[in-house]
Amino acid sequence: MDIVFGIDVSSRNSSVCVLIDDTKNEFTITNDIPGFKELLKNLQVFAKHPQIVFESTGVYSRRLQRFLEDYDYECVVLNPLTAKKEMDNGLRHNKTDRTDAYNLARIQLQNHHESNKREAEVYHNLRALSRSYEELTRDIVSAKNRLHKDLQLTFPEIETVVSHPTNRNYWELVKLYPHCQDVRNLSVDEIIDKLKDFKGYSLKRAQKIATKLKELAEDACPATSQTSPYRDDVIYHANRLIQLDIDRDKRLSQMIKLAQALPNRDLEILMSIPGFAETTAVRVLAELGDIRRFKNSNKIDAFIGIDPGRYQSGKVDSRLGITKHGNAIARKILYRSIGQITQAAKTSSCHIAEYYENKKPSQTKGFKKIAIASVHKLVRTIYALIINNQLYDYEVAKQNQRRKS
């Protein structure tokens, strides 16, 4: 006898459908301790743990999952896109919370999805820090764009003073001189006196920047006066960027500290891959979690959404592009890391970089497809290194490539 609890999780309440073969029982619970205890009471009626299935709905489903894990109940947590596709395949007719709970139970009975492997709390904390890091990165990009827009009205030339106007020293410079008139009112020596206290600035560098700043300010033709609100906006965005950057560095330090304290050397293993600096390695670890919980590298492909889609209808059976049903942040990090690996390959040989470079001349596939194929290879490499507790070795990787070919 198969017993399935299908749960449609919302923000405040959740609809539950208990499916025992063809018999169903439906009820609603609140997403708090009283509601979860009511669910627990219904689960404990059965001597054998029932199957529990629900969609991953971010913070809402995470509370339910944590409660069930605390009572040693395994859960099937489906990606919403996967669940929708399976429910639309002959199951869903009307869209209500109750029908969704029922259909979730039905597709679990039909498809027998495996329960999610429980991860240690440290991996949840790593992932939370990684998501915060990602949000801060988006905020930084947004604040940079706003700062650039306002500077076009007050002192656009300041963006050419340094070669990379994206670090904390540059934002400190903008905060000091948000309008070209702020520079015109000062002598070069007065500007030098301010700049020499910047972190990493020598007296010679301070003199060079002060002189250039003065020249640019004299030639500048601003669209607004020194008393314009746009000048205040420039200072605001510069201050915000400095604080966002500090906060993001703090999240990264916390991630690294947690990863280094793990009872394994996963961070060290990931950092042994050419092109994997500490930031990339710790974020891959944070997003993928405990890699040992995956049965094979194909499961990781599905987890990050680079597994190929498939279309079947009658006699038609064709391969589609990648599903994009998985962890989008992990997919983005791994995709971008291919570029880092190819850059690092100039000094540190890597079979993944060689694969990417060998495929590049084939214009028929397109660079994105080649990059995704390289991500597949990277995922297999990461999985093999972690499972075997080995650091990356180019010669060993090449030997394994020859054995497979």
Specify whether domain 124-257 bears CATH 1.10.10.
Answer: no
Q: Which CATH superfamily is domain 3-118 in?
A: Ribonuclease H-like superfamily/Ribonuclease H (3.30.420.10)
Check for a shared fold between 3-118 and 124-257.
Answer: no
Q: Domain map of the chain by residue range?
A: 3-118, 124-257, 266-404
HSE-CB of 121 using CA atoms within 13 angstroms? 3
Between CA 219 and CA 213 the distance in angstroms is 10
* Tens digits of residue pLDDT in 5-22: 999 999 899 999 999 987
Q: What per-residue confidence (pLDDT) applies to 162?
A: 86
Residues 6+ apart with CB under 8 A from 164: 170
Between CA 336 and CA 329 the distance in angstroms is 11
Q: Which residues pair with 13 in a beta bridge?
A: 30
The per-residue pLDDT string of the chain (405 residues; one tens digit each, 9 = 90 and over) reads 789 999 999 989 999 999 998 789 999 999 999 999 999 999 999 988 999 999 988 788 999 999 999 999 999 998 887 788 777 765 445 555 568 899 999 999 988 888 888 888 999 999 999 999 999 999 999 999 999 999 999 999 999 998 877 889 999 999 999 999 999 999 999 999 999 989 889 999 999 999 999 999 999 999 999 999 999 999 999 999 999 999 999 999 999 999 999 999 999 999 999 999 999 999 999 999 999 999 999 999 989 989 874 333 333 333 446 777 789 999 999 999 999 999 999 999 999 999 999 887 655 556 788 889 999 999 999 999 999 999 999 999 888 876 765
Between CA 186 and CA 202 the distance in angstroms is 20
Long-range contacts of 227-236 (CB under 8 A, 24+ apart): 228/153, 228/154, 228/179, 230/150, 230/153, 230/154, 231/154, 231/178, 231/179, 232/178, 233/146, 233/150, 234/147, 234/150, 234/151, 234/154, 234/155, 234/174, 234/175, 234/178, 234/179, 235/175, 235/178
Compute the chain's Rg from CA coordinates. 27
Residues 6+ apart with CB under 8 A from 386: 266, 269, 291, 292
Q: What per-residue confidence (pLDDT) applies to 316?
A: 34
304 by DSSP, 3-state: which?
helix
* Tens digits of residue pLDDT in 96-149: 556 889 999 999 998 888 888 888 899 999 999 999 999 999 999 999 999 999
Residues 6+ apart with CB under 8 A from 329: 130, 131, 134, 287
**Dihedral, 62, 64, 65, 70 alpha carbons, nearest 10:** 120
pTM of the model: 0.85
Q: How far is CA 170 from the centre of its chain?
A: 27
Which alpha helices (H) appear in 185-296, and where do they start and end? 188-195, 203-219, 229-260, 266-271, 278-288
Long-range contacts of 137-140 (CB under 8 A, 24+ apart): 137/248, 139/244, 140/241, 140/244, 140/245, 140/248
